[in-house]
Amino acid sequence: MTPRLWAIGTFAVLLVALIAVAFATVPRHRAPAPRADQLAALDQLPAEKVARGRAFHAELRPGSYTGMVLGLLVALALGLTPLGARLVELAGKPFGDHWLARAVLGGLVIVVLTELVTLPLAAWRHTIVARYGISTQTWGGWTVDLLKSLAVGAVLGAIVLAGFFAVTRFAPRWWWAFGAAGAAGLVVLLSFVLPVLVEPVFNRFTPMADGPLRTELLELAARDGVPVKDVLVADASRRTRAVNAYVSGLGPTRRIVVYDTLLTEATPGEVVSVAAHELGHAKDGDVLTGTLLGALGAALAVVFLYLLGSWRWLLGLAGADSIGEPRAIGLLLAVTTVAGLITGPAQAWVSRRVEARADTHALALTGDPDTFAAMQRRLGTVNLSDPDPPAWEHTMFASHPSTVQRIAAARAWARGER
């Protein structure tokens, strides 16, 4: 068989595997959250907090959607015209048009240009978040975090670009196979490495002081059968007033991380409730499942790009001769941007199902639906969530159930509706 036929067969196998893993791991049953309970929960929230949360999101929406549209238009302009190819060529000229310079520097030019175009909207968002008191960052701190984010992205991007175009150059017929394996392996590697290497770039972590709360969290993890290495406190207050906690890492790197803002805003019982939710993700292997799905998706994307390379008219629009040459970086950006927008609602749906399962886990582990509901009210009011957002927006973009849905689910659980 030709490489193309092998690629088509591999694409089909990977797609079936992705669907099978998703079917086997994504919860199909969702705990009931009756609408009557949602409306009752909404009525019990402080009216001024609800109004403030809705006003906050109303101000954010124009910038968010404009940024989404602008990012798409820039990606299409760079990928469906020769502009992207020309920028890649210019980036490589000072280095003798070496393929590696084109791949790494050209790719970074494309990505940085996209970031610069949407930067004013990011700054506008910061002014709104700061005005509503969610952000505690000065412009200096915000700029430093932005530069850190760009630096981390540049390093990861350079590794991916160099690896991808090295494979396409030295294995021109079978690069899709090596590239798919490499992309899947990179996703797995980053799942282990990022929590240890990248999280400290943005936050300082200190062990939680010995005391009743630390003991209770460790005992909670042990009772749940989820061993954790430590309980850490993140200095989130230097950039935000939002509250949160999470379980980070896999295996020997797993630890419970609590925002210092959560410790000051919430009761110990509410902190335990949040931790129980996060332990649910570890207990059900959500990180491992996400890693596996991500690895399959990355491999699938590489094979798809190879098959896309036979669309000569598309390459002609991009000013490239092959999908495996650096001049096609703009086209790759356009394809991934469009794919992200198309698959976004499905990813959001999966995320909401997984988060709802973790909520049920927290209720079962603590046996305390009242504290769970109190914590959801606190999360919603402190973080200025819209407790009951428009249905279309929630369906398209929300990664978690809404505040009123989570409170209603807790009430249904307390009644034995599980």
Average model confidence (pLDDT) across the chain: 92
**Which tens digit of pLDDT belongs to each residue from 208-230?**
999 999 999 999 999 999 888 88
- Residue 205, classed as helix, strand or coil, is strand
Give me the amino acid identity at 300: L
**Which tens digit of pLDDT belongs to each residue from 120-149?**
999 999 999 999 999 999 999 999 999 989
- pLDDT band at residue 24 under the 50/70/90 scheme: very high
Question: Can you state the percent helix, strand and coil of the chain, rounding each to 5?
Answer: 75, 5, 20
Q: d(Cα 127, Cα 166) in Å, to the nearest integer?
A: 42
Q: In sequence order, what are the residues at sequence separation of 6 or more whose Cβ sits closer than 8 angstroms to the Cβ of residue 377?
A: 45, 403, 407
- Residue 255, classed as helix, strand or coil, is strand
What was the pLDDT predicted at 333? 93
**Which tens digit of pLDDT belongs to each residue from 47-81?**
999 999 999 999 999 999 999 999 999 999 999 99
Q: In sequence order, what are the residues at sequence separation of 6 or more whose Cβ sits closer than 8 angstroms to the Cβ of residue 415?
A: none
Determine whether 346 is exposed, middle or buried from the number of CB atoms within 10 Å of its CB (0-12, 13-18, 19+).
exposed
Q: Are 51 and 381 in contact (CB under 8 A)?
A: no
Q: d(Cα 379, Cα 356) in Å, to the nearest integer?
A: 15
Which segments are annotated as binding site for Zn(2+)? 277, 281, 355
The residues with which 207 forms a beta bridge, in sequence order, are: 232
Q: Could you tell me the two tokens for 267?
A: 């009761």
Q: How many CB atoms lie within 10 A of CB 400?
A: 18
Q: Could you tell me the two tokens for 156?
A: 């990861």
What was the pLDDT predicted at 360? 95
Total domains in the fold of the chain: 1
Q: d(Cα 60, Cα 82) in Å, to the nearest integer?
A: 34
Q: Which residue has the higher pLDDT, 126 or 30?
A: 126
pTM for the structure as a whole: 0.90
What was the pLDDT predicted at 93? 92
What was the pLDDT predicted at 326? 94
Q: Are 365 and 224 in contact (CB under 8 A)?
A: yes
What was the pLDDT predicted at 249? 73
Q: d(Cα 337, Cα 74) in Å, to the nearest integer?
A: 10
Q: Could you tell me the two tokens for 367?
A: 């046996």
What was the pLDDT predicted at 109? 93
Range of the domain at 125: 3-414
What was the pLDDT predicted at 413? 94
Which segments are annotated as binding site? 277, 281, 355
Please compute the mean of the pLDDT values over residues 33-42 and round it to a whole number: 93
Q: How many CB atoms lie within 10 A of CB 117?
A: 15
Q: In sequence order, what are the residues at sequence separation of 6 or more whose Cβ sits closer than 8 angstroms to the Cβ of residue 87?
A: 78, 106, 109, 110, 113, 330
**Which tens digit of pLDDT belongs to each residue from 361-415?**
999 999 999 999 999 999 888 889 999 999 999 999 999 999 999 999 999 999 8
User: In whole angstroms, how large is the CA radius of gyration of the chain?
Assistant: 23
What was the pLDDT predicted at 409? 95
Determine whether 392 is exposed, middle or buried from the number of CB atoms within 10 Å of its CB (0-12, 13-18, 19+).
exposed
Please list the active-site residues.
Answer: 278, 359
**Which tens digit of pLDDT belongs to each residue from 80-96?**
999 999 999 999 999 98
